[in-house]
Amino acid sequence: MTAKTPRIHVSFWGTRGSISTPGAVTQKYGGNTPCVSIQYGRTDIILDAGTGIRDLGIDLAQRSDRRKQKLSVHILLSHTHWDHIQGLPFFSPAYIKGTKMAVYGSPNKERFLAAILQKQMDMNYFPVQMNALAAELSITEISRSGMQIGPFTIDWQEQVCHPGGSVRYSLSADGKKIVYATDVEIDKIFAGGSKMKRADKTLAREYCDFIRGADLLIADGQYTEREYPGRAGWGHSSIKTVIETAGKCGVKQLAVFHHDPQHTDSMLDLLWDRYAKMAKSVNPSMNIFWAREGMTIAV
């Protein structure tokens, strides 16, 4: 018998947007802010460092201790809004000597990426400063040409339809493609329909080309179509537009992500039931689910 090829495993450690929302009404889908891990063989890639990264860090540290192996982790930041970086000071591998920890982010920040992250750990905000971390830490603004991390080819694009900007990532390995595209207001891009402006046509084409054929798309779907008009310009998408666009681009599986802080477990259940019917009408069919803290899927 031949050995089975290892699968890519995607785990959700934080799926909530804007602010953490612990409590009785968010236990199912979770209240931690964005953090997703992707594991393939011995390579671990982390997408965003919201409050969910704390539990991931505990899990990684325990795994390292069991295997008697030093950790090597790669963290790709979509952007530096608080809900995407506030968990970083609580990431336990950062305090373990011998850990190699690489953090990547946009080269288009108005201030250097390292300076932004260091400021978060200023003594006025946090008792431990970044230079006290025991890990071997590198903070890198990603190059224009993308990069290779272990078996993964990483591509990226800037997303201008979000205050301050954000980055979407594509991770490809073993013939599989995973796209992480949170914090982007695609309703703004596609709003013009047939009368779309030239600049929006370019953004729309870039977005569609980037997600096309993805085996898994993790996408910002913070608002219902009823909520979106009152929140236009806030930098997040409506679920309906995300589903329609993903379906047209041949996405095989869609994870709705960055849940609104006001959306309770019961409301998310209702939304999943309602919008799943829309996804079934896509040709070819597209699987859709609401990302839930603690969920791991194989791609």
Domain ranges of the chain: 9-298
C-alpha gyration radius of the chain: 19
Euclidean distance between CA atoms 135 and 215, whole angstroms: 34
pLDDT attached to residue 65? 86
CATH class (in words) of the domain with range 9-298? alpha beta
Q: What is the pLDDT of residues 100-112, one digit of tens each?
A: 999 999 887 655 6
Across the range 138-162, mean pLDDT stands at: 91
Number of H helices, E strands in the chain: 7, 14
pLDDT attached to residue 5? 65
With beta carbons less than 8 A apart as the criterion, state whether 85 and 56 touch: no
pLDDT attached to residue 276? 87
Report phi then psi at 47, rounded to 5: -105, 110
Does the pTM surpass 0.85? The reply is yes
With beta carbons less than 8 A apart as the criterion, state whether 151 and 173 touch: yes
Q: What is the pLDDT of residues 20-48, one digit of tens each?
A: 999 999 999 999 999 999 999 989 999 99
Written as six digits, the tokens of 10 are: 């995607």
